[in-house]
C-alpha cells in the first residue's frame, strides 16, 4: 500500500518516485533527529539472530494512509 501510494503521488506530481522517496526519507530523518518521531512504541524483540529489535506497525497506521488518497 505504501509503495502504491508513493507511486501514485509521484505520478500525480510528475516527479520520479525515487526523488519523492528520497525527500520522504530526509524529512523522516530530520523529524526523528528533532525528537518528533518516537519509534520505541513500534519496537519489539526480534527472534532473528541478526537483529535485536524489529518494528511492528499497528493496522491503524496503515489504515490512516489508506483513508487519505493522494
Structure confidence by residue, pLDDT tens digits, 20-70: 999 999 999 999 999 999 999 999 999 999 999 999 988 888 888 876 655
Torsion angle defined by CA atoms of residues 59, 64, 68 and 69, in that order, rounded to the nearest 10 degrees: -20
pLDDT score of 21:
96
pLDDT score of 65:
80
E strands, 10-59, are 43-45, 53-55
Binned at pLDDT 50, 70 and 90, residue 9 comes out as very high
pTM of the model: 0.75
pLDDT score of 17:
97
pLDDT score of 60:
86
CA–centroid distance for 53 within its chain: 17
Amino acid at each position: 500500500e505504501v509503495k502504491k501510494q508513493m507511486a501514485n503521488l509521484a505520478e500525480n506530481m510528475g516527479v520520479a518516485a525515487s526523488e519523492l522517496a528520497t525527500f520522504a526519507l530526509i524529512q523522516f530523518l530530520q523529524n526523528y533527529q528533532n525528537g518528533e518521531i518516537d519509534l520505541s512504541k513500534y519496537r519489539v524483540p526480534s527472534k532473528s539472530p541478526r537483529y535485536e529489535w524489529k518494528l511492528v506497525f499497528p493496522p491503524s497506521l496503515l489504515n490512516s494512509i489508506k483513508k487519505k488518497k493522494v
